[in-house]
């Protein structure tokens, strides 16, 4: 299955306004920038979106490539006039071709890997990432650690997810979640309403959750070793109940 998420205009245009509130406080941008400083480049960021994380990493001066499946998201990033050390590419994680063995660091921030909806597409993406890394390259990504009580609820009624300002007007985002426990896939419906009539409407996308040992198994099959897990972006050793932040090193073939 290919990377299915369709971040249409509703999500792309509101993305920065929403996630400056609900995601920036976790410190993920600073963490990925630190990884870039410590590991070096060239750097490839998968699922770069509007550049929330990528532009912070680009401040290091490294050669950076941002890849995303959504042209709507990339258009928002292009409007920010990214610096000369940033190249943007539309493509999918499973089959992009940007030069084998080219990147010292590949990242997939903010749960980008969770838009791969079955083990076949996950493994295809991981093998492709492995091929694109230098012999001593590193892959860094994060996913949410599933709360067993929460994911046991197959349907959640609509709730207010975020209130934010867009172009001077107040907007509200509501979310509805439906989970398929047999496939570990959840469908999220986002509904926007508020003062900006151009951004009133709904969109739907899917995400698949991972368990800790499932991640390690997939990484080993794809050729990674020396896997380190953290529970947050302060690099606290992993224990259940937080994020799953993964640093995996390429195994030379």
Segments of the chain assigned E as strands: 43-46, 64-68, 86-90, 103-108, 133-144, 155-166, 169-180, 185-194, 201-208, 224-230, 243-250
Predicted pLDDT of residue 200 = 94
Please name the residues in contact with 246: beta carbons below 8 A apart, sequence gap of 6 or more.
Answer: 139, 140, 141, 142, 143, 215, 219, 227, 228, 229
Please name the residues in contact with 18: beta carbons below 8 A apart, sequence gap of 6 or more.
Answer: 162, 164, 173
| 200-219 per-position pLDDT tens digit | 999 999 999 999 999 999 99
Quick one: pLDDT band at residue 159, thresholds 50, 70, 90?
very high
Predicted pLDDT of residue 8 = 80
What is the C-alpha to C-alpha distance for residues 64 and 83, in angstroms, rounded to an integer? 10
What is the C-alpha to C-alpha distance for residues 230 and 247, in angstroms, rounded to an integer? 8
| 160-193 per-position pLDDT tens digit | 999 999 999 999 999 999 999 999 999 999 999 9
User: 148 phi and psi, to 5 degrees?
Assistant: -60, -35
pTM: 0.96
| 127-141 per-position pLDDT tens digit | 999 999 999 999 999
């Amino acid at each position: 299955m290919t990377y299915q998420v369709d971040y249409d205009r509703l999500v792309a245009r509101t993305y920065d306004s929403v996630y400056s509130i609900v995601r920036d406080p976790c410190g993920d941008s600073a963490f990925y920038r630190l990884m870039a400083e410590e590991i070096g480049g060239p750097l490839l960021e998968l699922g770069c979106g509007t550049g929330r994380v990528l532009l912070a990493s680009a401040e290091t001066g490294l050669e950076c490539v941002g890849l995303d499946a959504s042209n709507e998201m990339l258009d928002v990033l292009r409007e920010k006039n990214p610096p000369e050390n940033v190249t943007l590419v539309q493509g999918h994680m499973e089959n992009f071709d940007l030069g084998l063995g080219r990147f010292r660091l590949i990242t997939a921030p903010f749960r980008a890997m969770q838009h791969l909806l079955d083990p076949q597409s996950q493994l295809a993406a991981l093998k492709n990432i492995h091929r694109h890394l230098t012999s001593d390259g590193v892959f860094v990504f994060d996913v949410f650690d599933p709360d067993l009580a929460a994911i046991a609820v197959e349907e959640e009624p609509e709730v207010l997810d975020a209130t934010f300002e867009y172009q001077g007007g107040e907007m509200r985002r509501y979310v509805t979640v439906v989970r398929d426990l047999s496939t570990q896939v959840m469908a999220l419906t986002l509904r926007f309403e508020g003062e900006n009539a151009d951004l009133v409407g709904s969109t739907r996308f899917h995400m698949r959750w991972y368990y800790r040992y499932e991640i390690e198994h997939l990484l080993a099959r794809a050729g990674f070793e020396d896997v380190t897990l953290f529970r947050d972006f302060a690099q606290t050793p992993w224990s259940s109940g937080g994020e799953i932040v993964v640093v995996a090193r390429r195994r030379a073939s």
